[in-house]
């Protein structure tokens, strides 16, 4: 006989949490009252009764000031109010998933909406949910939904839909489909517990692959009944038992495949009693004996322990993980990664396995806090150490800035990059690196002190060296480059042309006269330059910036010739005449004898600085780049001017 036990068999998180809380309070504080049966299992209730857990069917059964446990099913709002009036100390073990439903319906009630609940009308969980609603309707079947729709019960209503956590998934899907077609103002909240889905799905698969199924649980447990119904539909031989006393070994199919599952209200000790009645020689399919597997499922987790689980659900605050143990595990979103740009939806998917480290175990609440980023750090240290030893490039994200430099995170490990190694010039802010991905080398590592130092600058230096070698292998006079102005001096600008710096002399920056390179370019400017001089031996490059087609003399020659008249601007005076600008960068001389049609003592007697006048071009000297102008030529007849010349 081969036996396969469902991984989800036994207490769900909510029930286990309630039982553990009741047991702890009874042991340490004496008697405690449970409002309603804490669990749908008479054997477990009897065990807890012996410990001092009393079951109160009504509020009148609870003495004033007594400690009271709220079971996992939850209770209506008024129960809390009346217990407070009685001065009772409340120990709330409401399942977090049920509590979430209470919050949802309370908000929808406040919005004036009609609440539709899918579930069993008299089930304590449903009664508890109704206690947080205003107007509500409970649907138990597909027929209930169809009748309500056909009768017009929901017509014109703003409807919000929730479900009992253990409701049948197929009922939910079909019923919601009907409502979607008929309700125009519908809000749907899928509140079916994923653990219930998983338990039923596993039972379905197990029953289909087994010759016999054993379903363990109280006959009053709705979720156990559902497991029995699922098993019965897929397996011809199903035993529904509440405890080991109901199991007759002669009913077992020796030599055949047997599957075992248990309801969410079935305690571990009952499952173990059943297991003890199985043959000691019976082995589970994976080779472990039944009892050993059960012990594994009920094992205690320890802080710092590395675990592997399955992602169950993702919320706005955490990721729920199934570890296959009695505790429900959560990874807070801030424990997923150190990367501020980490995309949870893109990296975490329900159903996928995930590794984490146990950060905190809360046996009272039945929860475990996990950290994925700490596992990443453990793996990351190995990667970081290998990168350091092999001098390989590491890529990380810059997450913060401090006085000494910046901090990057790579493979879950924090890497400090000193300011001098960031590659950012001293006069520029390091904040420009924040939230950017950068490549760097690991230059120092101390695992004991958890200290890692990196260098972006080394990467840049190597890249610059490689680029420089490429430039020197191809550069020649006339080569053109797109460069970046790195620094300015009084005599020129240094330009990085791709790993190599060249200098543009001040005389090569502009065709006009400038006093400092900053009049033309600034540090950081992208400029187009060309090589005008090259000394490979001494690694010196002279660059040109001003273009021949921008040469003012060429501009002048393209516009004017001897005999043309130009409007010029008087610039300055000399004893022998006045200089005037013809085009930017080209000046002409108006000799004192050519300023007026009569004799003058000095140029200022006839002209003013800044004055614009018409002048005739009477001579152009290409070799010396000089132009002679005459105002007088425009004041006398051409013939007279010619005779006088």
Using one digit for the tens of pLDDT, what is the confidence trace for 59-79?
999 999 999 999 889 999 999
The answer to whether residues 415 and 452 belong to one domain is: yes
pLDDT value of residue 283 = 44
Return the biggest CA–CA distance within the chain.
Answer: 145
Q: Is residue 301 part of a domain?
A: no
DSSP for residue 249? G
Decide: 581 and 610 in contact? Cβ < 8 Å: no
Q: Confirm whether 362 is domain-assigned.
A: yes
Per-residue pLDDT band for 639 (boundaries 50, 70, 90) equals: very low
Residues 495 and 566 in one domain: no
Residue 167 pLDDT level (bands cut at 50, 70, 90): confident
From 33, 67, 92, the end of a domain falls on 92
Q: Strand, helix or coil at 300?
A: coil
Domain contains 568: yes
- Would you say residue 131 has pLDDT above 50? yes
Same domain, 143 and 67: no
Round to the nearest angstrom and report the end-to-end CA distance of the chain: 132
Which residue, among 237, 266, 242, has the nearest Cα to 252 in the 3D structure? 237
If one counts every other C-beta atom within 10 angstroms of the C-beta of residue 294, the result is: 21
User: pLDDT band for position 286 (50/70/90)?
Assistant: very low
What's the number of domains the chain is made of?
6
Tokens 């309630």 belong to residue: 18
Q: What pLDDT is recorded for position 281? A: 39
Angle CA 134–135–139, to nearest 5: 125
Instruction: Please identify, among 36, 63, 92, the residue that sits at the C-terminal boundary of a domain.
Output: 92
Strand runs labelled E in 526-611: 526-535, 540-544, 565-574, 577-583, 586-591
Place of tokens 């173990």: 272
Q: Where are the beta strands (DSSP E) in 110-237?
A: 114-118, 136-139, 159-163, 186-188, 212-216
* Structural domain includes residue 570: yes
pLDDT of residue 87: 94
Is the distance from CB of 265 to CB of 41 less than 8 angstroms? yes
pLDDT by residue (tens digit) across 188-237? Answer: 999 988 777 778 888 888 898 888 899 998 888 888 888 999 999 999 89
Q: How far apart, in whole angstroms, are the C-alpha atoms of residue 577 and residue 594?
A: 8
149, 175, 192 - which closes a domain: 192
Indicate whether 73 and 35 sit together in one domain.
Answer: yes
Residues 503 and 567 placed together within one structural domain of the fold: no
The verdict on residue 532 lying in a domain is yes
* Per-residue model confidence as pLDDT tens digits over 492-525: 999 999 888 999 999 888 887 789 999 989 998 9
Q: Kindly state whether residues 371 and 396 are assigned to the same domain.
A: no
Rounded to two decimals, the pTM is 0.45
pLDDT exceeding 90 applies to what percent of the chain?
Answer: 42
What is the per-residue pLDDT across 582-608, written as a single tens digit (0 to 9) for each? Answer: 988 889 999 999 999 999 999 999 999
Nearest residue to 373 (alpha-carbon basis) of 344, 403, 406: 344
Domain that holds residue 482: 475-546
Q: What is the pLDDT of residues 240-260, one digit of tens each?
A: 998 877 877 667 665 578 888
Q: In this predicted structure, which of 219-223, 268-272, 296-300, 561-565 has the lowest mean pLDDT?
A: 296-300
Tell me the two tokens of residue 556. Answer: 């002048």
Report pLDDT for 590: 96
| Same domain, yes or no: 107 and 188 | yes
In a domain? residue 208: no
- CATH code (residue 344): 2.40.50.140
Which value, in Å, is the radius of gyration of the alpha carbons in the chain? Answer: 44
Residue 79 within any structural domain of the chain = yes
User: Tokens 């004036």 sit at which residue?
Assistant: 112
Grade residue 12 by pLDDT with cuts at 50, 70 and 90: confident
Go through 579-602 and write b for each residue having 16 or more CB atoms within 10 A of its CB, e for each that does not: bbbbbebbbbbbbbebbeeeeeee
Q: Are residues 570 and 624 in the same domain?
A: yes
Sign of the torsion formed by the C-alpha atoms of 512, 517, 519 and 523 = positive
Of 185-189, 242-246, 456-460, 618-622, which range is least confident?
242-246
Residues 440 and 356 in one domain: no
For residue 23, the domain's CATH number is 3.40.50.11270
Mean pLDDT rounded to a whole number for the chain: 86
**78 and 101 co-located in one domain:** no
Q: What is the pLDDT of residue 637?
A: 54
Residue reference for tokens 């579930």: 119
Region 305-319 average pLDDT: 83
511 and 499 housed in the same domain: yes
- Can you give the pLDDT at residue 249? 62
- Pairing relationship of beta strands 32-35 and 53-56 according to DSSP bridges: parallel
Cα 47 to its chain centre, rounded Å, is 48
Q: Is 74 in the same domain as 46?
A: yes
355 is catalytic: no
From the candidates 37, 44, 108, 125, which is the catalytic residue?
125
Residues 217, 188: contact at Cβ < 8 Å?
no
pLDDT 10s digits, 395-453:
999 999 988 999 998 888 899 999 999 999 888 899 999 999 999 999 999 877 889 99
Q: What pLDDT band is residue 102 in, cutting at 50, 70 and 90?
A: very high
Of residues 25, 126, 35, 30, the one with CA closest to residue 80: 35
Taking residues 87-112, report their average pLDDT. 91
The pLDDT assigned to 268 comes to 72
Quick: pLDDT tens for 611-620. 999 999 999 9
Predicted local distance difference test score (pLDDT) of residue 368: 86
In a domain, 631, yes or no: yes
Residue 632 in this model has a pLDDT that exceeds 60: yes
pLDDT digits (tens, 9 = 90+) for 340-375: 778 888 888 887 889 898 988 876 556 789 999 888
């Amino acid at each position: 006989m081969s036996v396969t036990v469902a991984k989800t068999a036994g207490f769900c998180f909510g029930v286990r949490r309630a039982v553990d809380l009741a047991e702890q309070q009874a042991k340490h504080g004496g008697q405690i009252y449970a409002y309603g049966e804490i669990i749908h299992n008479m054997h477990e209730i009897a065990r807890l009764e012996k410990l001092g857990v009393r079951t109160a069917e009504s509020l009148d059964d609870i003495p004033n000031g007594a400690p009271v446990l709220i079971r996992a099913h939850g209770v209506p709002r008024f129960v809390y109010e009346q217990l407070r009036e009685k001065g009772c100390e409340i120990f709330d073990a409401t399942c977090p998933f049920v509590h979430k439903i209470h919050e949802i319906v309370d908000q929808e009630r406040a919005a004036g909406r009609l609440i539709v609940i899918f579930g069993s009308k008299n089930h304590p969980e449903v009664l508890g949910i109704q206690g947080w609603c205003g107007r509500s309707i409970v649907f138990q079947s597909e027929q209930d939904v169809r009748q309500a729709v056909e009768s017009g019960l929901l017509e014109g209503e703003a409807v919000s839909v929730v479900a009992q956590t253990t409701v049948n998934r197929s009922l939910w899907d079909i019923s919601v489909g009907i409502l979607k077609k008929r309700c125009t103002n519908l809000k749907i909240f899928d509140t079916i517990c994923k653990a219930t889905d998983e338990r039923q799905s596993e039972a379905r698969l197990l029953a289909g692959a087994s010759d016999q199924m054993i379903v363990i649980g109280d006959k009053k447990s709705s979720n156990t009944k559902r497991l029995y119904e699922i098993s019965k539909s897929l397996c011809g031989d199903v035993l529904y038992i509440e405890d080991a006393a109901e199991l007759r070994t002669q009913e077992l199919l020796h030599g055949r495949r047997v599957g075992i599952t248990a309801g969410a209200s079935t305690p571990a000790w009952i499952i173990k009693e059943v297991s003890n009645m199985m043959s000691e020689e019976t082995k589970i399919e994976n080779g472990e004996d039944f009892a050993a597997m059960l012990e594994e499922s009920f094992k205690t987790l320890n802080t710092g322990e590395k675990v592997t689980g399955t992602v169950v659900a993702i919320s706005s605050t955490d990721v729920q993980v199934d570890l296959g143990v009695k505790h429900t595990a959560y990874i807070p979103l801030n424990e997923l990664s150190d990367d501020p740009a980490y995309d949870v939806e893109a990296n975490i998917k329900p159903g996928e396995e995930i590794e984490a480290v146990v950060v905190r175990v809360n046996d009272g609440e039945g929860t475990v806090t996990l950290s994925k980023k700490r596992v990443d750090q453990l793996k990351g240290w190995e990667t970081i150490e290998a990168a350091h030893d092999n001098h390989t490039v590491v890529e990380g994200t810059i997450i913060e800035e401090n006085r000494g430099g910046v901090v990057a995170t790579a493979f879950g490990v924090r890497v400090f990059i000193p300011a001098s190694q960031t590659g950012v010039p001293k006069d520029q802010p390091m904040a420009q690196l924040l939230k950017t991905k950068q490549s760097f080398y690991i230059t120092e590592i101390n695992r004991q002190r958890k200290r890692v130092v990196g260098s972006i600058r080394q990467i840049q230096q190597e890249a610059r060296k490689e680029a420089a070698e490429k430039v020197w292998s191809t550069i020649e006079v006339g080569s053109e480059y797109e460069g970046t102005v790195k620094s300015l001096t009084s005599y020129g600008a240094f330009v990085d042309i791709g790993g190599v710096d060249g200098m543009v002399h001040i005389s090569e920056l502009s065709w006009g006269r400038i006093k400092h390179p900053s009049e033309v370019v600034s540090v950081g400017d992208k400029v187009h330059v060309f090589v005008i001089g090259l000394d490979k031996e001494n690694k010196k490059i002279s660059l040109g910036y001003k273009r021949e087609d921008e040469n003012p003399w060429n501009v002048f020659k393209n516009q004017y010739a001897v005999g043309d008249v130009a409007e010029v601007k008087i610039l300055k005076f000399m004893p022998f005449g006045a200089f005037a600008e013809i085009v930017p960068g080209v000046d002409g001389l108006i000799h004192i004898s050519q300023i007026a049609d009569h004799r003058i003592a000095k140029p200022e007697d006839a002209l003013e600085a800044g004055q614009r006048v018409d002048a005739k071009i009477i001579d152009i000297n290409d070799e010396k780049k000089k132009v002679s102008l005459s105002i007088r030529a425009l004041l006398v007849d051409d013939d007279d001017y010619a005779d006088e010349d």
